[in-house]
Amino acid sequence: MASLRSVVLAGGGTGGHIYPLLAFADALRRHFPDVRITTLGSPKGMENDLIPPAGYDLRVIPAFQLPRSVNMNLLRTPDRMYKSSQAAGKILEEVQADVVVGFGGYVSVPAYLAAWRKDIPIVIHEVNVPPGVANRMGMKFTKNIAVGFPQQPQQAESLRDARVVGVPLRTALTQLDRAALRPQALYQFGLRPDLPVLFVSGGSSGARTINLAVAAAAKRLAHSGIQVLHVQGGRNDPFDVPADLPVPYRVLPYLSDMQLGYAAADLMLCRGGAITVAETTALGVPAVYVPYPHSNQEQKRNALPVVEAGGGVLVDNSELTPEWIEQNIIPLARDRQRLGAMSMAASRYGRRDGDEALLEFVLEAVAKSR
């Protein structure tokens, strides 16, 4: 097994790029307690809130505005890219990196470029079924590409030879026994044990459409005996929920301990962010996916295989109305048998060992380069 002394992890922007990076950092620490771990982030991304409290060294490099599609010419445009890749290169030199592992998001592009210039091995981890722009640019510099989900029949050409490793998930999730944690989770959120719980989360930044539609259906849900645990999401405006509901409807701004939400949930209503899909399937949480309608249908393509496997339901953003919730979510949340079958189907698609599998792949890439 190759040994590692110094690893640089690049990824930033929203939670979807940062949580896998952190989960991978934890796996590195477990296997190589003395390894130096340095993370590269951007000035304004959520990494600034999430990485330092997790105990890892975060170095911020100047922001680089990612184009909407792959444009390698940008890498030759000094004013756009120069500062960021110079800053990344200085850090790689200072920490004498053995390898750069990138998780996507605009901060990874300068990191890939700097590593390539210094002949440092690069590993790319791509979570989305259609690969993101930053990683697609990175793929010009390395063949070490790992993906989060099983290969799809219509897999992007660039990912056909990628290694399927799964998505590194936080240990609080990989070690979660939902049934065992459920009583504590319900108690903590002030929810009742005798009524189903709908867990609502629009991803790390929240989702306005989901927030407003569910809040507008609050009365119908409550009068059907469905409790709601509603996470608003980091960057979303508050919304109103009627005060006099007969059963609990809890609103939280953000939930750091997602394991509690997943333990409390009978059914989840969520976007189709790749990490959310990795988590619901790894944990066997039946879900109604409402993909974010932009970004190249990325989220629809993330969620579709789970839905086809029977682990979830898909609804278009434009169709998620209080009426749709009443007609579809209320009967589903009360149907224990169907939820049980969906949970099993979701589990068959998901996996919990993405951190270990990615580490193995990184070690192989380093060994190959020596």
Ligand X SMILES: CC(=O)N[C@H]1[C@@H](OP(=O)(O)OP(=O)(O)OC[C@H]2O[C@@H](n3ccc(=O)[nH]c3=O)[C@H](O)[C@@H]2O)O[C@H](CO)[C@@H](O)[C@@H]1O
Q: Which of 122, 200, 228, 275 binds ligand X (CB under 6 A)?
A: 275
Q: Which stretch binds ligand X (CB under 6 A): 213-221, 290-298, 304-312, 342-350?
A: 290-298
Instruction: For residue 14, say whether it is annotated as part of any ligand binding site.
Output: yes
Q: Which stretch binds ligand X (CB under 6 A): 34-42, 291-299, 306-314, 328-336?
A: 291-299
Q: Which of 16, 89, 110, 286 binds ligand X (CB under 6 A)?
A: 16
Burial 51-88 (b: 16+ CB within 10 A, else e): beebebbbbbbbbbebbeebeeeebeeeebbeebbbbb
- Give 89 or 350: the residue with its C-beta nearer to ligand X: 350
Q: Which of 231, 268, 304, 329 binds ligand X (CB under 6 A)?
A: 231
Please, are residues 16 and 107 in contact by the beta-carbon 8 Å criterion? no
Written as six digits, the tokens of 53 are 């409290």
Q: β-pairing, 6-10 with 99-102?
A: parallel
> E-assigned strands of the chain?
6-10, 36-41, 57-60, 99-102, 122-126, 145-147, 163-164, 197-201, 227-231, 249-252, 267-270, 287-289, 312-314
Nearest distance from C-beta of residue 147 to ligand X, angstroms: 12
Residues 6 or more apart from 270 whose CB is under 8 A from it?
200, 201, 202, 203, 210, 276, 280, 287, 288, 289, 290
Q: Which of residues 92-131 bind ligand X (CB under 6 A)?
A: 104, 127-128
> E-assigned strands of 49-134?
57-60, 99-102, 122-126
Instruction: For residue 184, say whether it is annotated as part of any ligand binding site.
Output: no
Q: Examine residue 185 and tell whether it contacts ligand X (CB under 6 A).
A: no
Q: Which of 38, 135, 144, 201 binds ligand X (CB under 6 A)?
A: 201
Q: Examine residue 254 and tell whether it contacts ligand X (CB under 6 A).
A: yes
How far apart (Å, rounded) are the C-alpha atoms in residues 188 and 184? 6
- Give 85 or 299: the residue with its C-beta nearer to ligand X: 299
Q: If 0-12 CB within 10 Å is exposed, 13-18 middle and 19+ buried, where does residue 157 land?
A: exposed
Q: Examine residue 19 and tell whether it contacts ligand X (CB under 6 A).
A: yes
How far apart (Å, rounded) are the C-alpha atoms in residues 200 and 10? 29
Q: Examine residue 343 and tell whether it contacts ligand X (CB under 6 A).
A: no
Q: Which of 115, 247, 274, 320 binds ligand X (CB under 6 A)?
A: 274
Q: Examine residue 292 and tell whether it contacts ligand X (CB under 6 A).
A: yes
Written as six digits, the tokens of 203 are 């991803």
Residues recorded for the chain: 370
Q: Examine residue 281 and tell whether it contacts ligand X (CB under 6 A).
A: no
How far apart (Å, rounded) are the C-alpha atoms in residues 101 and 122? 6
Q: Which of 110, 166, 203, 284 binds ligand X (CB under 6 A)?
A: 203
Nearest distance from C-beta of residue 68 to ligand X, angstroms: 12
Q: Examine residue 174 and tell whether it contacts ligand X (CB under 6 A).
A: no
Burial 336-350 (b: 16+ CB within 10 A, else e): eeebeebbebbbebb
Size of interface with ligand X, in residues (CB under 6 A): 28
Please, are residues 222 and 246 in contact by the beta-carbon 8 Å criterion? yes
Q: Which of residues 25-44 bind ligand X (CB under 6 A)?
A: none
Q: Which stretch binds ligand X (CB under 6 A): 60-68, 197-205, 216-224, 350-358?
A: 197-205
Please, are residues 10 and 107 in contact by the beta-carbon 8 Å criterion? yes
Q: Examine residue 136 and tell whether it contacts ligand X (CB under 6 A).
A: no
Amino acid at the residue 219: K
Instruction: For residue 16, say whether it is annotated as part of any ligand binding site.
Output: yes
Instruction: For residue 128, say whether it is annotated as part of any ligand binding site.
Output: yes
Residues that bind ligand X (CB under 6 A): 14-17, 19, 104, 127-128, 201, 203-205, 231, 233, 254-255, 258, 271, 273-276, 279, 292, 295, 298-299, 302
Instruction: List, as residue ranges, the binding site.
Output: 14-16, 128, 170, 204, 299
Instruction: List, as residue ranges, the binding site for UDP-N-acetyl-alpha-D-glucosamine.
Output: 14-16, 128, 170, 204, 299
